[in-house]
Structure 1
Amino acid sequence: MKIQEIEIFAIDLPLIEPFVVSYDTYPSMPSIIVKMTSECGVVGWGESVPDDHVTGETPESTYAVLKTKLAPLLIGQNPLEFERIHELMDSVVRGVPAAKAAMDIACFDLAGKKLNVPAYQLVGGRYHEKFPITHVLSIGTPEKMAKEAAERVKQGYRSFKMKVGTEVQKDVERIRAVRAEVGNEIAIRVDVNQGWKTSANTMPVLRELEALDIDWLEQPVLADDIDAMVEIKSKTTIPLMIDEGLHGEKEMREIIAKRAADKVNIKLMKCGGIYPAIKLAHMAEMAGIECQIGSMVESSVGSAAGFHVAFASKAFKSVELTGPLKFSKDIGNLHYDVPFIQLNERPGLGIEVDEVILAELCQVSVVVK
């Protein structure tokens, strides 16, 4: 089987409400969708959601590198040869993990459809039956975040990821307000998105956070400061998770060697797709580090790809792929049974893409043959 044609669509996914994190506010979510067609007519879908703060890519640069570098390179290649596909992509352009993720995901979708198996069967088979879904609370006032949490508990959610990362003490007030509103039986995970910057800023509030019984503290310091994570880990009983500080094997080796985290947040957009994500999960498992599949607020395409990785490995203990729940209009039909998700048995990613909605949301597109 050979890749015959690749279409690239730059789209803008409409959010129900703005998504606010420490470093930016997103009124909508830019995304690059890839439609990969084989010579026998099988179609695979992929997605790239780049972020200049996290992956070092922009939507414009990603569209360009897909159009001029990666798509022409993969025409005529066998999409089932995942290792070789990544070696080829790495040989022509360094980095750009979100761009490579789009191609990787499309290859897995296409391969699964060709072989008539779900994508998770291509990376180890199904291990988990279902995952609970964590609702992500954007940064807001303590009162607003507490109110939203209470409403979501009524809908069945039993865990929250709180986005913080502004002034440290104000963030503690946000966490305290949500804990007071939902009680002690609801899980709270705190994601700082590098917002506290240093261990010096973080350590003074560790005692307060320990008293609030949070599940873990995620990326309080700048991404490249692994040593700061080591210092914080030595001073608290709260489990620490690294997110932006982990992209690929190089960072994972350092995290393992320095015992810098209890958990890691693996995102397909940071590491280059399904195949690299599975490699990182194997490394983490051997080191006794728990994994989460994280979200860059992808559509049903990228979110489904992340779920297939998580369902195939026992290293994954949590997921936060809630992008499709945040959009007022999505291009795919990934199904959630809130507060759980259970993947279907359909081949590939197991979703259908609505090409009418894709065309409606598309800003620019190109066909590479």
Structure 2
Amino acid sequence: MRIQSVTLKTIRVPLKKKIRHASHERTESENLVVKVTLASGSVGYGEGVPREYVTGETTETALATLSKVDAARLVESPGSLDDVIRRLEAWELPETLEDPRGMNGNAARCALELAILDAYCRHFDKSLGDVIHLSSLPHLRRHPKPQRVRYSGAITAESAKGEVISAWKMRLYGFAQVKIKVGVAGQDDPQRLVKLRKILGERIDVRLDANEAWHIDDLLEHVRPLREFQPSLLEQPVPHAEVGGLGELRKLLGVPVMLDESLCGYPDGTRAIRERITDFFNVRLSKCGGILPSLRLFSLAEEHGIKLHLGCHPGETAILSAAGRHLASNIANLKYVEGSYDRHVLAENLSVEDITFRYGGWARPLRGPGLGITVAPERLERMTVQSKEIGYD
């Protein structure tokens, strides 16, 4: 039951269209995929999405980080899935421990942790959802059994015509919640929201994501004209270096605040609570280090009355989509959920199954051992640009 080998791959995932927001734009996603093979023959897959402007990682640094990890020694020969979880709960990368924000290496950790959990869940004939229920964290609120998930829609900063088309799609597709990107240079957000809110109607919950676009000194000026469109929250309105100013200012905004780029590690979460700078945590698996560190942030939020949002990275393949589905199906009290955009965003995916959400954003829990999906090796090889295998005797 020991780990026999670990294969590290950097891949390029083609997107159907350009994704644009205030911090970045992309037409493809460069991701890290990890394959773990056990001596028993069980195979697991994990994925991380390194973003230099989020956690400071690139695929190169993530690959270098994992090249130094002795995965076989990390888990040794576990007698149960619970043994694996206890070892992974205690595992921290040196890069993460040395980082005051606890985020360096998070995408790398996510990819390896998920691959290990997928492999051992398959070996013990357990679902990844069982990991959530076996976690030792005290404040997690979990459903007794996996539930259906309802995902949010998203309107990125694109052409005026493209935004209108996207808004009509969101309405016709029956979404209850939609996120709109704001703060992109050269765009008039109040005018955009006049059109978009009219199309979406008053019943749809609309939230705004600024991706660090504004500065604390003029934040009120930017937010004031947007309040008439009844946004349910404002995500990451200022750069991380300025979030300390939200402690006092958010009381005047008239809109709840959510941290995203400023919530990458556990130290970020404890600071946000200590300084009272947020109403919501946006937890994303790759950004926050994987399943178990994300659960730790959920537990912290529940303990201190912070509301929960499960996010995703544009360009995630079915591996991270499936992991997010297990979290969303099993964790109670998630106010917003993003993910499983697969068929709508990716020109090609890694799984045999299509786990994209359906009408209204609804999706069923995943069944079967591990992630509950089948990775197609030929598709993985087609996207691979670099590969490294580490064997263990």
What's the TM-score bracket when you normalise by the shorter of the two chains?
Answer: over 0.9
Aligned to 2:184: 166
1:126-174: CA deviation from partner (whole Å, max 9, x where unpaired): 4551222212222124443122111232223232111222249723332
Alpha-carbon contact 2:12-2:384 (below 8 Å) kept: yes
1:70 shift after superposition: 5.8
Alpha-carbon contact 1:188-1:214 (below 8 Å) kept: yes
Give the total of aligned pairs: 368
Check if 1:239 corresponds to 2:248.
no
d(CA) in 1 for partners of 2:366, 2:285? 20
1:115 shift after superposition: 2.4
Check if 1:347 corresponds to 2:364.
no
Greater Cα offset, 288-297 or 47-56: 288-297
1:1-369 matches, within 5 Å, as 1-69=1-69, 74=74, 76=76, 78=78, 80-85=83-88, 87-91=90-94, 94=97, 95-124=104-133, 126-127=143-144, 129-167=147-185, 170-196=188-214, 198-297=215-314, 298-324=316-342, 325-332=344-351, 333-335=353-355, 336-338=357-359, 339-369=361-391
Give the SS at the match of 1:206.
Answer: helix
d(CA) in 1 for partners of 2:340, 2:186? 26
Letter in 2 for 1:47: E
d(CA) in 1 for partners of 2:280, 2:7? 37
TM-aligned CA distance change 1:257 to 1:351, over 3 Å:
same
Letter in 1 for 2:259: I
1:74 shift after superposition: 4.5
Letter in 2 for 1:347: P
List structure 1 runs of 4+ shifted beyond 6 angstroms: none
Greater Cα offset, 140-149 or 339-348: 140-149
1:325-348: CA deviation from partner (whole Å, max 9, x where unpaired): 310110023512232111122111
1:231 shift after superposition: 3.0
d(CA) in 2 for partners of 1:253, 1:88? 19
Alpha-carbon contact 2:40-2:123 (below 8 Å) kept: no
d(CA) in 2 for partners of 1:323, 1:277? 20
Alpha-carbon contact 2:326-2:366 (below 8 Å) kept: no
Aligned to 2:136: none
Letter in 2 for 1:212: F
1:204 shift after superposition: 1.3
Give the SS at the match of 1:238.
Answer: coil
Identity %: 26
d(CA) in 2 for partners of 1:281, 1:93? 19
Alpha-carbon contact 2:325-2:366 (below 8 Å) kept: no
TM-aligned CA distance change 1:91 to 1:169, over 3 Å:
closer
d(CA) in 2 for partners of 1:250, 1:93? 11
d(CA) in 2 for partners of 1:38, 1:205? 53
1:296-347: CA deviation from partner (whole Å, max 9, x where unpaired): 1211101211222232222422211144131011002351223211112211
Letter in 1 for 2:226: L
1:213 shift after superposition: 0.8
d(CA) in 2 for partners of 1:239, 1:92? 33
1:42 shift after superposition: 0.9
Aligned to 2:138: none
TM-aligned CA distance change 1:70 to 1:13, over 3 Å:
farther
d(CA) in 2 for partners of 1:278, 1:350? 20
d(CA) in 2 for partners of 1:257, 1:92? 24
d(CA) in 2 for partners of 1:93, 1:219? 23
Greater Cα offset, 227-236 or 21-30: 227-236
Give the SS at the match of 1:123.
Answer: helix
1:101 shift after superposition: 0.4
1:161-188: CA deviation from partner (whole Å, max 9, x where unpaired): 1122224972333223211222111221
Give the SS at the match of 1:235.
Answer: helix
Greater Cα offset, 75-84 or 279-288: 75-84
Alpha-carbon contact 1:70-1:89 (below 8 Å) kept: no
Alpha-carbon contact 1:295-1:323 (below 8 Å) kept: no
d(CA) in 1 for partners of 2:319, 2:130? 17
Give the SS at the match of 2:199.
Answer: helix
TM-aligned CA distance change 1:49 to 1:265, over 3 Å:
same
Letter in 1 for 2:349: D
Alignment RMSD: 2.2
1:208-249: CA deviation from partner (whole Å, max 9, x where unpaired): 222101121100001243322223321033111111111122
1:89 shift after superposition: 4.3
TM-aligned CA distance change 1:210 to 1:81, over 3 Å:
same
